[in-house]
Amino acid sequence: MIRFQALRWGAPGQPLTPPLDIELSKGSMTAVIGANGCGKSSLLKVIAGLQKPLAGKVLLDVPRKGSLSFLPQQQHLDRQFPINLQELVAAGFWGSKQSPAWRRDRLESVLEDWCLSGLERRPLMALSGGELQRALLARLSLTDAPLLLLDEPHAALDELGQALLWRHIHRWHAADRTLVVVCHDLAAVRHHIPHTLLIKSSGCVFGSSTDLIRQQPQAQVA
């Protein structure tokens, strides 16, 4: 469960919206949409504890250890960092107490699941945007966090990657994990995600994805 209590966020002295007061129940799946620069990514960072709110609180009803996993936009990743795809994905085992043999088998399964087999030794700088995004999502698949925060997980994915993404998102949701997904693909939001939080400078609106998106001009939520 995520509870926002009079939450305000943004640059110091420049809150992006009026206070936000809503609750996202355990096991829910919520899209976050809004115009560029409205604060979608910043909200995920506040939930993850990577950015301090200007006012109010975010209360998370999840275990402290390994409570959440955050998928940032890939532009924040240093592609010059000297690791290969397999090492990037295996970082999802951080804190795992499973045996090396179990981790090896699990890693092989996840790489195959995301159609990354054969790319294990390829350095980050040699990956396409879609391959890198699938690698980041594969890393997320190795975590057991009950709360998943996904910032534009569909970015750079082709048709196959999109299909894999939504298959996994539904799988995670079926496992009673709570998901908050920043997504610009409104057709996908309407089809796959039941609830949406629309961020606007005049105030956030929470409701049914189908109803809320139908009411909003496309240009306002690009």
Asked if 61 and 167 sit in the same domain, the reply is yes
Indicate whether 14 and 26 sit together in one domain. Answer: yes
CA dist list (Å): 146 to 42, 79, 81, 95: 21, 28, 29, 15
Region of 89 (left: φ > 0; alpha: ψ -120 to 50; beta: rest) is alpha
Q: What is the mean pLDDT of each run of 10 residues along the chain (222 residues)?
A: 95 93 96 94 95 96 76 86 95 88 96 97 95 96 94 95 97 96 94 96 94 71 48
Q: Parallel, antiparallel, or unpaired for β 29-34 and 55-60?
A: unpaired
Domain identity same for 115 and 158:
no
Q: Are residues 140 and 191 in the same domain?
A: no
**100, 129, 144: which is the final residue of a domain?**
144
Indicate whether 43 and 13 sit together in one domain: yes
Instruction: Pick the closest to residue 180 from 10, 13, 40 (CA basis).
Output: 40
Q: For residues 33 and 109, what is the distance between their CA atoms, to the nearest angstrom?
A: 33
- Statement to judge: residues 130 and 197 lie in one domain: no
* CATH number for 186: 3.40.50.300
Count, in order, helices (H) and strands (E) of the chain.
7, 11
